[in-house]
Amino acid sequence: MSPVTPASVQKLQTALHAKAKESPSFRFYALYDKVYRKDVLTYAYDCCQANGGAAGVDGQRFEDIEAYGVERWLDELAQELKSRTYQPLPVRWVYIPTPDGKQRPLGLPAIRDRTAEMAAVLVLEPIVETDLQPEQYAYRPDRSALDAVSRVHKLIYAGHQEIVDADLSSYFDSIPHSELLKSVARRVVDGDMLHVIKMWLEAPVEETDERGNKHRNTRNRDEDRGTRKDLRSARCSVIYTCFGSCLGGRNWGTRSA
């Protein structure tokens, strides 16, 4: 069950959404300090805990954090973010089986990084949501693939006769960081916020081979493109939504169905 949004966080999101909707060209310049607000970080942690998930490279589990003391743990994370000493850990890279018998990679960030990322989502999502087209369903709150399918069914019943089904090859591997950050900067000029997003994009990944040896690579940073492939990631949802808002301006979607 998803945790209930605290009234103070809801008030913040409502204000950000209202400002973004009222002023489509406004660029937000003071957002980073909202990320380490105690109520925002606490709610972000609750969301991450509700999602569950295995530990990252540091091996820290939610049970460990509970034993250590959640409030103490969050205070330490908030201080790192506030003092600008926060550095994301490498992403743990694992492979999970797919229905066709193959395997696909999945990135598992440390819980501290998931929490910080989710806090950023809570702040940025109300802003970028105002720029998205109604035909866009991916990485949006209260929307799913089933909603998109339902919309297609309605269009078919309304008389549309053609459906275009397309997929982008190696999409996650090919997204250019510079272009993506430019897309975010269409709405956000807070340097600290942009910097932390860039750090998440460039975080190295760590794999364990069959012999138990760990290997790290910095391909994303070295090539200035690509992100880890984990759809649950708060990082994915906020960054790809920002990127999608730029594409959405071209009126792609069911209008051409």
CA 9 to chain centre: 18
pLDDT in tens, the chain (257 residues): 789 999 999 999 999 999 999 999 999 999 999 999 999 999 999 999 998 888 999 999 999 999 999 999 999 999 999 999 999 999 998 888 888 888 877 888 999 999 999 999 899 989 988 877 777 777 677 778 888 889 888 988 999 888 887 776 666 666 777 877 888 888 999 999 999 999 998 888 888 777 778 887 777 666 666 665 554 444 454 555 555 555 444 333 333 22
pLDDT value of position 240: 57
Spatial distance between the Cα atoms of 119 and 63, rounded to a whole number of angstroms: 21
What is the DSSP pairing of strand 205-208 with strand 214-217? antiparallel
Structure tokens at 72: 């103490």
Distance between CA atoms of residues 206 and 215, nearest Å: 5
> What's the predicted TM-score (pTM) here?
0.82
Query: What local confidence, expressed as pLDDT, does residue 173 receive?
Result: 67
Could you tell me how far CA 201 lies from the centroid of its own chain? 10
* Cα–Cα distance, 251 to 248 (Å, whole number): 6
Strands (E), the chain: 91-97, 103-108, 205-208, 214-217
How far apart are alpha carbons 74 and 210 in whole angstroms?
35
